[in-house]
Each structure stands twice: as structure tokens, then as C-alpha cells.
């Protein structure tokens, strides 16, 4: 399964969640019952610091999220960073990068 590029937008100071549909070759929800996921945001690919996103995996969906406290502290050069999501199959003992893209931050005026 090739990595898909999908850009996301996070409103600073707000709870954030975003769901990705994971479909099989027939267009049906992928069985993710033995899978876990992890995702991070980085300023750039080789940056040493990262911001982990909470990941929830269910049948055919991966949801990433951050709390309002976490998004309040987001600050990136030009209000953009990079993210990716890796999906881990515990039965096959394999991992694949399932999504990647640019993470845009909408700055908040209200605190």
C-alpha cells in the first residue's frame, strides 16, 4: 500500500482530531484489528524534536488528535510543519508509512 499525501490544518488553541479512511483494494474498510499506529509532527524531516499525536485505530479508520493545551503550544516557522503516520501490524510484524503531508497551523488571536 503506497503512502498517500494528505495535508491537515490545526487550529491553534482548539481540540484537534482528524480521521483517515484506510481502504483495501476493493474500496472496503481495511481490517485493522491487529494494528496500532503512531504519528508525529516535525518542523522538517531531520529535526530532532517531534510532537507525538494520539492515534486511535478502528476498522478502516485511523484518528489522530491533540488536546487544546497541546495545540496552544504549537509554533512553527511559517505556521507549517510535516507529519506522518506509521501503521504497525502485530501479526505480520511489519510497519508501513500510511500517510504524510504538511501540517498547517491556523494561529489563534484569542487565548
Convert the pLDDT of each residue in 95-105 to its tens digit: 999 999 999 99
Q: Dump pLDDT digits (tens) for 36-64.
A: 999 999 988 888 889 999 999 998 999 99
77 vs 93, residue with greater confidence? 93
Q: What is the 3-state secondary structure (H, E, C) of the chain?
A: CCCEECCEEEECCCCEEEEEECECCCCCECCCCCEEEEEEEECCCCCCCCEEEEEEEECCEEEEEECHHHHHCCCCHHHEEEEEEEEEECCCCEEEEEEEEEEEEECCCCC
Question: Beta strands 51-58 and 35-42: pairing type?
Answer: antiparallel
Cell 503550544 belongs to residue: 73
8 A C-beta contact, residue 59 and residue 32: yes
| pTM for the structure as a whole | 0.89
Give me 65's grid cell: 488528535
pLDDT at 2: 73
Amino acid at each position: 500500500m503506497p503512502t498517500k499525501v494528505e495535508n491537515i490544518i490545526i487550529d491553534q488553541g482548539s481540540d484537534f482530531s482528524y480521521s483517515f479512511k484506510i481502504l483495501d483494494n476493493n474500496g472496503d474498510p481495511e481490517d485493522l484489528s491487529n494494528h496500532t499506529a503512531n504519528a508525529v509532527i516535525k518542523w522538517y524531516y531531520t529535526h530532532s524534536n517531534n510532537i507525538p499525536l494520539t492515534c486511535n485505530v478502528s476498522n478502516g479508520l485511523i484518528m489522530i488528535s491533540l488536546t487544546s493545551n497541546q495545540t496552544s503550544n504549537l509554533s512553527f516557522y511559517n505556521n507549517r510543519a510535516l507529519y506522518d503516520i506509521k501503521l504497525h501490524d502485530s501479526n505480520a510484524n511489519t510497519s508501513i508509512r500510511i500517510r504524510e503531508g504538511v501540517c498547517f497551523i491556523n494561529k489563534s488571536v484569542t487565548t
